[in-house]
Structure 1
Amino acid sequence: MQKSKAGSGSARSDAVRVIKKYPNRRLYDTDTSTYITLTDVKTLVMDNEPFVVRDAKTNDDLTRSILLQIILEEETAGVPIFTEQVLANIIRFYGHAMQDFMGSYLEKNVQIFMDLQSRMTAQAPGATPEAWKQFMNAQSPVMEGMMGTYLEQSRSAFNQLQEQMQKNSEQMLAALGLKR
């Protein structure tokens, strides 16, 4: 599924692909004027194609819901990323005072890990998935160095999270007339 860049007839200035979800659960790609599947949406994600999924009737944004469906399919179909313990711990953060901070922390860590993956891929552009698997299992000094960098960036993200929490606490106490 390729997006036509030139002559698509689209006058949108935001360049975000719009996918409409109909009540019959079908997804309609307005760029290609075709019905698509969750697999096609996953391809858009993998290709870093900006898109939004909208309810065809109400125009509500359903993008998160569709992304969660893709994650659910991936988690149940193959080798899952999340253990039951991780999923249970994530659920425990919903409604907790730390929910916003946890979301931010996870987002920063995933981005740091994606940046690490991009750097590794750029250093070996022709490597096959099997070669990457062997490299990752080799525990080479290069890999240990990269993981050390990742862990340091993760620690930095956590420290930023702590500092933000401290600042928020101080602001809240000041607003209540209490000083630390």
Structure 2
Amino acid sequence: MQTKEADPSAAAGKPLRVIKKYPNRRLYDTDTSAYITLAEVKALVMRAEPFVVRDAKTNEDLTRSILLQIILEEETAGVPLFSENMLANMIRFYGHSMQDFMGSYLDKNLQIFMEMQQKMTDQAKGLTPELWQQFMNAQTPLMMGNYFTQSQNAFTQMQEQMLNALGVKR
């Protein structure tokens, strides 16, 4: 459950926006005092605005289910991000002893990938679309090689932490 104290962006001075979900499935933004759509919640995500979605009756945190709903809509609306094979493999980790490890691993890798993407974007500021395409063609092999190295390092680090937690010495 997210709280203002537990939310890193709230600690950075950004207030946590509360969205209430009513039994009729409508979403109410308490900041703007207006009903909002799932598309508007997606826009909050895209702008990295901190928010939490709560059940209007029980105050239960529904943020994850709303985010999953947005992903489902995106996956069915256009070019999917997840292949069937990837989704099947993810499903196989539910209930598996490595479920927590896999979640942490995916989270860490996505963070590494986003940091690399931000660095590339910063380096390419001011490029025309043509120059951007040339930049991407040149950078993608380098970026992916760097990403795979960082991903492998993240995996090794998490593996070491797991082994240390179990008291296994290498």
Question: Could you tell me the TM-score, scaled by structure 2's length?
Answer: 0.84
Write the distance in 1 (CA, Å) between the matches of 2:19 and 2:130: 34
Q: How large is the Cα RMSD of the aligned pairs? A: 2.3
Unpaired segments of 5 or more residues in structure 1? 1-12, 172-178
Question: Could you tell me the TM-score, scaled by structure 1's length?
Answer: 0.80
In the alignment, does 2:107 pair up with 1:110?
Answer: no
Q: Which secondary structure does the structure 2 equivalent of 1:58 belong to?
A: coil
Deviations 1:34-68 (A, max 9, x none): 10001000000000000000000000000000000
Instruction: Report the equivalent of 2:99.
Output: 99
Q: Using the aligned pairs only, state the percent identity.
A: 70
Q: Which secondary structure does the structure 1 equivalent of 2:167 belong to?
A: helix
With 69-78 and 162-171 compared, the bigger mean Cα shift is at 162-171
In the alignment, does 2:149 pair up with 1:160?
Answer: no
Match of 1:150 among 133, 147, 151: 147
Shift of 1:150: 1.2
Larger Rg: 1
Instruction: Report the equivalent of 1:48.
Output: 48
Q: Which secondary structure does the structure 1 equivalent of 2:161 belong to?
A: helix
Q: Which runs of 4+ in 1 moved over 6 A?
A: 128-131
Shift of 1:131: 6.9
| Amino acid paired to 2:165 | N
Write the distance in 1 (CA, Å) between the matches of 2:128 and 2:19: 32
Instruction: Report the equivalent of 1:70.
Output: 70
Q: In structure 2, do the counterparts of structure 1 residues 58 and 15 end up closer, same or farther at CA, with 3 Å as the change threshold?
A: same
- The alignment of Structure 1 onto Structure 2 pairs a total of residues equal to 158
Write the distance in 1 (CA, Å) between the matches of 2:144 and 2:135: 13
